[in-house]
Amino acid sequence: MTIRVLVVDDSSFIRKRIAEILDQEQDIEIAGYAANGAEAVRKTQELRPDVITMDVEMPVMDGISATKQIMRDCPTPILMFSVSTQAGAKATLDALEAGAMDFLPKQLNEINGDVEVAKRLLRVRVLGLGGQSARFRQQRRVLSAATPSFRTPPPAPTPAPNGAVPAPRFRRVGARDLRLVAIASSTGGPVALQKILLEIPATFPLPILLVQHMPGSFTKSFAERLNQICKIRVKEAEHGDELRAGVAYLAPGGFQMELSEGARKTLVVRESRAGENYRPCADVTFGSIAKNLSGKVLAVVLTGMGSDGKLGAEKLKAAGASVWAQNEESCIVYGMPKAIVDANLADGVFDLNEMANELKSL
């Protein structure tokens, strides 16, 4: 399958640079170019690309306004490019709320310092979004129809070798059974997290750890935005933070967040090690929780590419924890939750609205 891309930027140099990077992938084809948001809206209608790469700051019409109009008239997966400043982070979060699916820093070397790795990541992101384009358009039609929320039952248990089918694992948990909630997400996660956290009351009796794949220049702004609109407190995690009920701790981009050993539970924020592909990584956080907090944990895996969180969820399940996954219909990208469901690790599979209600009921 060839992924057709519309490249949108007011700089001809940047448009050419993005095209050169994408052209190195044989399954990606440049469908066209646009120099501003208004032209992007028009060419999206004309060319029907599978993916759009979109700049934020442009003349005539900015990228956020263009994203809103495209999502209304011709829903298409959009990858935003943003500068890594506080203003750029705010604009990127606005773009995600407007309907963009994913984002990358405009200066690719800011991703991890290796330009070639960053170029490969750009191609992987475009391929991933392109593979979701048909389902994404269908999902946007469903959402625009304002269908009610629903709960998806857990997947059918895998038969044992002797043919016996184990009983379904789904069980409702309460705050008395738990000491911590941990939530992991990636592509589509900022909007999903905001939707869930907005429903949690200020009296929520548990601390919450948040692992969202996001560059370090964005996590502080994201935490501050959530803190302004949510009833609970939300902060970017710092080394030595002591866990408190009703506080959500967002793992800082570019680092790993772990739960400390010992009776006094604090957070360890450290540099990444070899083999830890995501910074932050849900597997790292989940694994440390499984090691240091036994089974008194609820882990939630939301929308995102890849399978980060699966290995950590296996460790949590072995320690007696509960694991929930977002259902396919409400995911922007059904990757991380799918890995949980396919591995038969999910104690419950929920629509995003129902997930918020279930957490609120704790």
The residues that are catalytic are: 186, 213, 308
Rounded CA separation 263/101 (Å): 40
Structure tokens at 339: 């890995």
Q: What is the DSSP string of 245-306?
A: TTEEEEPPTTSEEEEPSSSS-BEEEE---TT--SSS-HHHHHHHHHHHHTT-EEEEE-SBSS
Q: Identify the CA nearest to 188 among candidates 48, 3, 352.
A: 352
Side by side, which strands form the sheet with 28-34? 28-34, 3-8, 51-55, 78-82, 102-105
Shortest CA distance to 345 belongs to which of 290, 305, 291, 293? 290
Q: Determine whether 310 is exposed, middle or buried from the number of CB atoms within 10 Å of its CB (0-12, 13-18, 19+).
A: buried
Strand, helix or coil for residue 43 = helix
Distance in angstroms between the alpha carbons of the first and the last residue of the chain: 44
